[in-house]
Chain A
Amino acid sequence: MMEAKIMGSQAFSYIDIDLEPGETVIAESDAMSSMDADLDLTATFNGGFFKGLLKKFFGGETLFISRYSNNTSAPKRVTLVQPVPGEIRCYELNGDEFNLQPGAYLASTDGVKLGLRWAGFVSFIAREGLFKLTVTGEGKVWYGAYGALLEKEIDGEYIVDTSHLVAYEPGIKLKLQLAGGIFSSFFGGEGLVTRVEGKGKIIVQSRSVSGLAGWLNPKFR
């Protein structure tokens, strides 16, 4: 069985994966940082041409995915990383499912299926796309985001800024609302927020790319 280690702390997580002979790991494109020279890399559509297109435009994923296969007779290493600095985590699927926000998917083992589900117009208004990425099957899926990842157990209702939600368990439903009154929501910089309801875990990122841009933009000359 392949050995995978998440290294680099939460600041700059990356994954060292040692593939046994005959094993394959799947990753979004441009995720490879370094690898043994005799691993095979094949690029395929992300679930077929049509589905690949859907995932690219609605799921925030890449059109192609890369398959790294070890066709030699010794263990070989590939190192994978997400484009942004931040934490990467692993979720073990045992026939259950897990929902990822667009862009959060990084890599998975062979038995994991990536699917798109209708996420409702609410999600579209929040610029999160019409679909959500659902992973099912058996195996490991690695996901990540900009910033550190924090887990929060939800039982009831909770509010999360839309740009900070990374992933959630199937028992959770999303709703959209204003952060405060009309004036506050507009000038207070919070705008629309996501109300999560139900029972289960949510994963929140402690920084967001839009927050970073909001800090940088006034500093540009």
Chain B
Amino acid sequence: MNQTYNITLTGELIGEIERSDAIAVFAKLFKLPLDKAHDFFHKAPLVVKKSVDGDTANKIQQILEKSGLHCEINPVEVVETEQSTQVGVMSESAVDAQDEQSGQEREEMLDSESEMTTEPEQPSASFKGLKFEMAGQPDYGFVTVHVPAGEMLKVEASAMATMDTNMQMKTKMRGGLGRMVTGENIFVNEFTAANMEGEVGIAPGAPGDLCHQYLDNETIYLQNSAFVACSSGIEVESKWQGLVKGFFSGESLFLIRAQGKGDLWFNSYGAIIEIDVNDDYVVDTGNIVGFTDGLEYQITKVGGYKSFFFSGEGLVCRFSGKGKVWIQTRSSAAFVGWAHWFRPVKSKG
């Protein structure tokens, strides 16, 4: 068995990073809520990743240290679990941790919840879906997807930035009339890996983050321009929101419904904040990226009538039920309004 290593976060910071920023990065990397990340960080030094091979350990250390988080790599002397069962073990310990809530094994708890988003060899990705790497997050998210031989990846038109020479591109019409109406590209490109595995690097147009979700016969709704890419098992279609909801919901009259089994990538303008909705939550209509199936939503006004007309918030989306909403920290309408003044003026005649 190969030598494996534990990675310990010392709690020290490198460079001129602010403590709150470091915690935010830490939360992002380990997909933790901020307050939890805050708690963990205060308990440092602690083990954030257990029993990984030397290469992976070095990679993780690089990622952490680049973000200003100092960490140490310590060799593990006795290795009991085999690598192939690691994913299973991790999810079991997550259940344990939830049941006990004793906090005695906080390292394990953290380990179980940690799937570093920037780590090239994502356990969850290689386990269930396609292999991929993310870079440039959260401001200019870029994803490189490894497509196995003969497999196909659907990518938003114009979003391909790099690819291997064996990738073959085909352009297809995208379902639904929605896109025709909104003036957006009605085509989607299909990239197929001929003969052998190949990679496609994808860069969406909007400056912002990327989010990956593995759908296991589930459904996610996305605002009209949030779709980036999906594997062949996912069905993507434009869905009419109904006149009232559609008319007021800022982005467009249509939502994208993605359902099936496979990988889905979507993007935002600005950084993405994931919000767990338990009873109700209010989101500005221009800041919705997507939400899970099962949430109810209503377009309402905020405050009194004065606020409705003058607050600049106008209509908002009130979510209720139980599920996830992804919001973006910027809204395109404000950017579009700003950029308008830089448009060249059409010459007459």
Could you list which residues of chain A lie within 8 angstroms of chain B, going by C-beta atoms? 9-11, 85-86, 147-148, 150, 152, 157-161, 164, 179-181, 183-185, 187-190, 195, 204, 206-208, 211-216, 218-220
Contacts and interface: CB of A to CB of B under 8 A. Distances in A.
Contacts, number: 124
A147 B136 contact: yes
B171 interface: yes
Contact of A212 (B162, B169, B205): B205
Interface in B262-290: none
Contacts of B203: 147, 161, 164, 206-208, 211
A207 B207 contact: yes
Given A10-B139, A180-B169, A207-B140, A189 B157 contact: yes
20 contacts: A147-B203, A148-B139, A148-B140, A150-B135, A150-B142, A159-B162, A159-B167, A161-B161, A184-B170, A187-B171, A188-B171, A190-B157, A190-B189, A206-B141, A206-B161, A207-B140, A211-B204, A212-B207, A215-B206, A216-B332
B140 A11 contact: yes
Contact of B160 (A157, A158, A161): A161
Contacts of B86: none
B254 to A, nearest CB: 13
Nearest to A149: B136
Interface string B31-43: 0000000000000
Interface in B171-198: 171, 182-185, 187, 189
Given A207-B207, A215-B205, A220-B343, A187 B140 contact: no
Most B C-beta atoms less than 10 A away, residue of A207, A212, A218: A207
Query: Which residue among B135, B160, B183, B335 has the maximum number of chain A CB atoms within 10 Å of its CB?
Result: B160
Pick the 3 closest A-B CB pairs, nearest first. A189-B158, A215-B205, A148-B136
B339 A215 contact: no
Nearest to B179: A218
Contacts of B159: 211
Given A161-B203, A190-B157, 4 more contacts: A9-B139, A158-B162, A179-B169, A214-B158
A204 B206 CA distance: 17
Contacts of A161: 160-162, 203
Interface of B: 135-136, 139-142, 157-165, 167-171, 182-185, 187, 189, 201, 203-207, 225, 332-333, 335-336, 339-340, 343
Given A157-B165, A164-B162, A86 B140 contact: yes
Contacts of A187: 157, 171, 187
Given A188-B169, A208-B203, A214-B158, A220 B187 contact: no
- Of listed A86, A159, A179, residue having the most chain B CB within 10 A: A159
B160 A190 contact: yes
Contacts of A211: 158-159, 203-205
A165 to B, nearest CB: 9
